[in-house]
A and B are shown apart, each in its own frame.
Chain A
Amino acid sequence: MTDYRIQGQTGEWEVVIGLEVHAQVTSHAKLFSGASTAFGAEPNTQVSLVDAAMPGMLPVPNRECIRQAVRTGMAIEAEINRWSRFDRKNYFYADLPQGYQISQLYHPLVGEGQLLIDADEKAGIAQDKVIGIERIHVEQDAGKLMHDQHPTMSYVDLNRCGVALMEIVSRPDMRSPAEAGAYVRKLRSILRYVGSCDGNMEEGSMRADVNVSVRRVGEELGTRTETKNVNSVRFVMQVIEYEANRQVDVIEAGGSVDQETRLFDVATGTTRTMRSKEDAHDYRYFPDPDLLPLQLEDSFLDECRASLPELPDAKRRRYEEELGLTPYNARELTAEVETFARFETLLSATASATGKPETKVATQVANWALSVAPGVMKSVGEEGDAANATAERQAAILAMQDNGEISGGQAKEIFEIVLREGREPAEIAETEGLKQVSDTGAIEAEVDRILAENEDKVEQYKAGKDKLFGFFVGQTMKAMKGKANPAVVNQLLKERLG
Chain B
Amino acid sequence: MRKYRLGCSLAIALCGGLLAGCEYQETAQYVVQVAGSSTVSPVSSAVAEEADKVLGIKATVETTGTGPGMERLSRKECDISGASRPIKEKELEKCRQNGFEPIEFEICIDGLTVAVHPENTWCNCLTIEQLKKLWEFNSSVQKWSDLDPSWPNEDIKLFGPDHDSGTFDYFIEAVIGDVPEEQSPCRTDYTQSVNDTTLVDGVKGSKYSLGYFGFAYYLLNQQDLKALGIAKSADGSDCVVPTRETIGAGDYVPLSRPLFIYVNKESLLTKPEVAKFVDYYLNAGQSEVGEVGYIELPSERIDKARETLKQTLAERRN
- Are A and B part of the same complex? no
Binding site for A on B (CB under 8 A): none
